Amino acid sequence: MSIILFIFQALLIPGLSPLIVGIIRKIKARFQNRQGASIFQPYRDLWKLFHKDEVISETASWIFRYTPYLLFAVTIVISAGIPMISTMATFSPLGDFLLFVYLIALGTFFLALAGLDTGSVFGGTGSSREMTVAALTEGGLIFSLFSVALLAKTANISEMVNAISVVPFSMLAPVVIAFIAFYIALLAECARYPFDNPATHLELTMIHEAMILEYSGKRLALVEWAAANKLLIFISLGTSIFFPWGIAQNVEIVPVAIALILFLIKILVMAVSIAVLESTIAKLRFFRLPDLLLTSLVLGMIAIIITVI
Partner 1 sequence: MGLLLQKEFFILAGIFVLGSIGSLLFRRNNNMANWWANSCAALGSLFGILLSGNVLLYNNIYTLQLPLTFSLLPVNVKIDMLSAFFILIISVVSLLSSIYAIGYMRQFYKEYNLGLFGFFYNFFILSMILVASANNALYFLFVWEIMSLTSYFLVIFEHKHKESIKAGFLYFIMTHIATGGILLAFLILYSFLGSFDFDVIRENVSSLPSFWISIVSLLMLAGFGTKAGIIPLHIWLPKAHPAAPSQVSAIMSGVMIKTGILMLIRLFFDVIPITPLWFGLLIIIVGAISSLLGVLYAISEHDIKKLLAYHSVENIGIILLGVGSSLVFLSFDLKSLALLALVAALFHTMNHAIFKSLLFLGAGSVVLATRTRNIEEYGGLIKIMPQTALFFLVGAISISALPPFNGFVSEWLTFQALFLGVMQFDIFTKGVFIFGIASLALTGGLAAACFVKAFGITFLAKPRSQKSENAKESSLLLRLPMAVLSLACLALGVFSIFVIPYLESLAGSLSIFAGISLVLVEGITFHTQNNSSSLAIIPVLIALLLTFVFSFIFFNWISRRQKEKIYSTWDCGGNLTPRMEITATSFSRSIVMIFSGILKPTKQINREYDDSNIKYFTKSSTVSLRMNDLYNKYLYCPISNFVYKIANFLRRIQCGIVNFYLLYILITIVILLILVTR
- What CA–CA distance (Å, rounded) separates 157 from 147? 12
**Using rule CB under 8 A, residue 6 touches partner 1:** no
- Asked if residue 117 lies in contact with residue 61, where contact means CB atoms within 8 angstroms, the answer is yes
Q: Smallest distance from the beta carbon of 61 to partner 1, in angstroms?
A: 5
Residue choice 155, 167, 258, 284 for contact with partner 1 (CB under 8 A): 155
Q: Smallest distance from the beta carbon of 138 to partner 1, in angstroms?
A: 4
Q: Smallest distance from the beta carbon of 8 to partner 1, in angstroms?
A: 17
Q: Interface residues for partner 1 in 166-195 (CB under 8 A)? A: none
Closest to 277 measured CA to CA, from 202, 160, 174, 198: 198
| Preceding omega of 14 cis (within 30 degrees of 0) | no
- Asked if residue 30 lies in contact with residue 280, where contact means CB atoms within 8 angstroms, the answer is no
Q: Smallest distance from the beta carbon of 215 to partner 1, in angstroms?
A: 11
**Using rule CB under 8 A, residue 88 touches partner 1:** no
- What CA–CA distance (Å, rounded) separates 285 from 53? 36
**Using rule CB under 8 A, residue 51 touches partner 1:** yes
Residue choice 19, 136, 157, 248 for contact with partner 1 (CB under 8 A): 136
**Pick 70 or 233: Cβ nearer partner 1:** 70
State the number of binding residues for partner 1 (CB under 8 A). Answer: 83
Q: Interface residues for partner 1 in 103-132 (CB under 8 A)? A: 103, 105-106, 108-109, 112-113, 116-121, 123-125, 127-129, 131-132
- Asked if residue 293 lies in contact with residue 184, where contact means CB atoms within 8 angstroms, the answer is yes
Residue choice 35, 153, 168, 280 for contact with partner 1 (CB under 8 A): 153
Q: Please, which residues have CB within 8 angstroms of residue 79's CB and are 6 or more apart in sequence?
A: 10, 12, 13, 14, 229, 232, 233
Provide the 10 A C-beta neighbour count for residue 142.
Answer: 19
Please, how many CA atoms are within 13 Å of residue 193, restricted to the half-sphere of its CB?
A: 17
Read off the amino acid at residue 279.
S
Choose the stretch contacting partner 1; rule: CB under 8 A; options: 1-9, 34-42, 49-57, 168-176: 49-57
Q: Smallest distance from the beta carbon of 106 to partner 1, in angstroms?
A: 5
**Using rule CB under 8 A, residue 286 touches partner 1:** yes
**Using rule CB under 8 A, residue 40 touches partner 1:** no
Q: Smallest distance from the beta carbon of 155 to partner 1, in angstroms?
A: 4
Distance between alpha carbon 256 and the CA centroid of its chain, in Å?
Answer: 23
